[in-house]
Each structure stands twice: as C-alpha cells, then as structure tokens.
Chain A
Amino acid sequence: MRQKKIEKLIDEKEIRIDGRKLNDLRPTKIEVGVLGNADGSAYIEQGKNKILAAVYGPKEAHPKHLALPDRAALRCRYHMAPFSVDERKSPAPSRRELELSKVIREALEPSIFTEYYPRTSIDLFIEVLQADGGTRCAGLTVASVALADAGIPMRDLICACAAGKVEGHLVLDLNDYEDKGGDADMPLAYMPTANAVTLLQMDGILSGEEFEQVVKMALEGCKQINQIQKEALRAKYVVAKEIETEKEVEAGEE
C-alpha cells in the first residue's frame, strides 16, 4: 500500500492533521489486568497506537548465568507485531527493536526495588499491535502500569511522552506522519517523585532554546500521562470493590 504524500502537516490556524492543537496529547486510555496468564498486564491505546504489556516475576532466573547476585535482573522485550504497520514487518527482532528494548529497560529499572529480590528475574514483554509513532513512549508508559499490576514494589510509576518540531512549530506527542515528516522528535521518560528523567533521545535538529522548550512540553505531557496511569490502576480497584459491595448487600438482604 503506497502512502499518500501529505502536503502540509500543520495548517495556518496551527491545527494538525488529526485535528489537534500544537500542545494536545492524543486521546489515551489504559486498561489494567487484561491478561490472565501474566503476573501483571496492561493495555494502552494512544491515538492509533495499540500496545500490550505483560510482566512475569520476580521468579527464578532461567538461564542461571543471567542472575545478578544482589538484585533482580530486569529483562525487557519490545516487539512489533508483523501486522502493526502498513507494510508487513518481519517478526525477527530488528536493530531498532533491540535498541528500544534496551532503552526501555534502562528507563524502568530505577523505579523498581530490584535489590529486594536478588538472583531472580523480572521478565517484561511489550507487544505493539498497531503502531502510529511514539510507540516507545506508549510502551514504556503501559509497561510501568503492568509492573505495578504485578505487585512488584516500585519507587514510582514512569511516564513517557514525546515532543518535537514539525514544520517550524514545537508540538507535543507526534504521530507517525509528524515523526517521519517533521524536523525533530524527542521521546522523554520521567519519574515524578524523583523529578528525574530516565529516558531522553532525539532524532532531528533543534537549537538550544528550542530544545529547552521541547523538554518542558514533554514533561508537561508526561505529567498528564501519569494521571491517566494512576486512574487506570484505581479503576481496577473500583470494579473489585463494586463486586464486593454487591456481595455484602446480598448478604445483608438474606
């Protein structure tokens, strides 16, 4: 399928091709505990991105030589399904997927109390079912929620968001067209309590001033994403509580 050539990504009124303003996040929703077999799981839809995360562990490390003596070893696999993009993507791990697996692991590790479980491993799987730009950020976001769902003790949730420059405008949360046709894309991951950045990459050209502004925009985006993460985790409890209260009411009526 040939891609249509887009004439302009941002029009005179500063509206983007999907109708968003420069500073708008794509509509995002997260669901917790979607997989029955994993210890923890979560699913995110951000614009057209659809990404699933699953966590297993902490459990005995197999193979043993990968075990660390003083903490849990976090293993992360970021993978794009063959049907996640326009042209079928080969299922074999590409260099990009290997890189993203590494940076995502390094972004999440500081948030987990790995020192509580020496010689174990925590396995994390991020599967992109549909991709539309910014999948490493959405994948990071949903992976952090899956880790919390697994009951693994964490310092904080990690939230991630990309910002960049498209046709001279500084924008938040680039989609695939904007990423490919824009001037710069900068994914950023953030740990709110420590006020620390755990992932920062850039693809493109930005001046020093532009960079500082884009970082600020991405941080604002991250804070919004963090709220969505917390709401998703709470929502799961509310459902559990409703089932409980129904049972108590039934018991009371008897």
Chain B
Amino acid sequence: MPVFYERKQLVTPGDLLAENDYFAGENTHKENGKIYATRVGLVNYEEKRVYVVALKSFYVPMVGDTVIGKVEEVTLGGWIIDIKAPHLAMLRASDALERPFKPQKDDLPSLFDVGDMIIAKIVAYDRTRDPLLTVLERGLGKITRGQIIEIMPTKIPRVIGKQGSMISMLKQETGCQIAIGQNGRILINGKTPDDERLAVMAIRKIEQEAHTTGLTDRVTEMLREEKGEKEVVKSEAKENRKTD
C-alpha cells in the first residue's frame, strides 16, 4: 500500500501516486494496480482514496446542475447556449414555454435573443448527445439585471460552503441576491453598486484562498471591515457638507 508523495505536493500528469489498495479519485487514473495523476495539481490522500486538486480544469456538465449560459444561436426549435463546457448546450422551445410551441405564433428571439444570459438547469446529458437545458422552474430564465463574474468551476463548492454556510453569510453581509452556476459563473444583484462590489471582492478572495481553513470567518471579517470603513467615509462626508 505504498504512497509516493506527501499531501499537498504538486504533481504532474503521469506521476505515480499510489499502488494497489487505493481508489482512484478525481483527476487520477488507475492502470495495472497503479494510480497516476492525470492533471497538474496538489495530491491528497484520504483514507483509501487518492485524488488531485487540479490547478486548472474546465466544467463538465452534470444532470441537475444549475448553470448560467449565454445564447449563441437561435434555431428553428430552440436555442444553442454556451455554458463554458466542452459541448454547447441546447434549450428546446418546449423547455422554455409553458404552452406547446407553435412556430407560426411564437417568435423565439423575442423570448431569448443572441447574447442574452440565462440561468438554466441541465435535464439530460450523456456521451451521445449535447447537454439539454430547461428554464421551466422557479428562479430560472433570462437574466435582466445584475453583474456576472466568472471563477474556476472547481472553486464553486467553496463559495457555497458546508450546507450553504458561506453563501448565506455572503448574502447576509452584502445584502445582495447571489445565484450560483455550477459552471463557474455567479450572478450578483445588489441594491447599490457598492454592495455588488463587496460581493465580488469576497468571491475573489474565496477563489484565491479556497484551500485554506477558517475562510468563512476571514471573509466575514473582511466584509465587516470594508463596510465599517465605508460608514466612516460616509459620516465624514456628511460632516464636511455640514461645515460648508
């Protein structure tokens, strides 16, 4: 049961990580009883599982994921959506309209046009077909306001946190509505541009320090400090105006 690296060591594709009794986890591959890394990243061992936290990887669609996509093309029966994955996704008209689709009556571009951003859910995906989306659920549809930022898809679980602890804290501290796409895109809707800026700052910090502990507390602290400073600046501005 030998292992050849220490935890959190950087490995490259083809590095032999472990032999025999271990299970091949994320970004690894088992061949002839030997487990090799398939991507550049940090290796970690957990009980009987060896996996690699990749430095760089892209989103692979999974059924049930909520994603934020961009309309690339309007076709006869629906739309083609870019969800930042190796495949383009399809949104059929029947998955976007409550009533049955009538080509003579329904004008698709008036619903979603090229360039629009939408929140959708993946309903089907297998090796033989491109991912299929739907917007017929609560919270899904065209994005009309707010800002969208992109982070690495592998950091999304950290932005959500254990049982949603991080994301609920973010929503509370910034007062923004935050919708998370599993494909690495996040929609932020705040009451003021400043609130949105806070949320963006916090998410960027989480992205940088995703691998560290105690992150939720540090982000909370940072947000409170930033808000505190702004209160000071605001009251100073008020003072200055009074004395003018």
Contact = CB atoms under 8 A, between A and B. Distances in A.
Contacts of B224: none
Given A60-B87, A251-B218, A151 B12 contact: no
B86 A157 contact: no
B209 A148 contact: no
A129 interface: no
Nearest to A122: B86
Contact of A60 (B27, B29, B88, B208): B88
A193 B16 contact: yes
A244 B38 contact: no
Contacts of A209: none
Contact of A157 (B10, B14, B29): B14
A151 B13 contact: no
B54 interface: yes
For chain B, the bracket of interface size reads: 20 to 34
A193 B12 CA distance: 12
B87 A120 contact: yes
Nearest to B218: A251
Interface stretch (A21-29, A99-107, A111-119, A214-222): A111-119
Interface in B51-99: 54-58, 86-88
A117 B60 CA distance: 9
Contacts of A70: 127
B209 A113 contact: no
Interface string A156-169: 11000000000000
A154 interface: yes
B212 interface: yes
Contacts of A157: 12-14
Q: Is the interface of B mostly helix, strand, loop or mixed?
A: loop
B86 A151 contact: no
A148 B39 contact: yes
Given A119-B87, A151-B56, A251-B218, A234 B36 contact: no
B127 to A, nearest CB: 5
A192 interface: yes
Interface string B198-229: 00000000001100100000100000000000
B87 A150 contact: no
A237 B39 contact: no
Interface string A122-157: 000000000000000000000000001111011111
A89 interface: no
Contact of A151 (B36, B39, B128): B39
A154 B13 contact: yes
Given A157-B12, A233-B40, A151 B54 contact: yes
A129 to B, nearest CB: 25
A156 B36 contact: yes
A198 B17 CA distance: 23
Interface of A: 39-40, 57-60, 69-70, 72, 111, 113, 117-120, 148-151, 153-157, 191-193, 229-230, 233-234, 236-237, 240, 244, 247-248, 251
Given A155-B31, A248-B209, A251-B218, 10 more contacts: A111-B13, A119-B130, A154-B13, A154-B38, A155-B29, A157-B14, A230-B12, A233-B12, A236-B55, A240-B55
11 contacts: A72-B86, A118-B127, A118-B128, A148-B12, A151-B54, A153-B38, A155-B36, A155-B38, A229-B12, A230-B12, A244-B209
6 tightest A-B CB contacts, nearest first: A156-B14, A151-B56, A58-B86, A153-B38, A154-B13, A151-B57
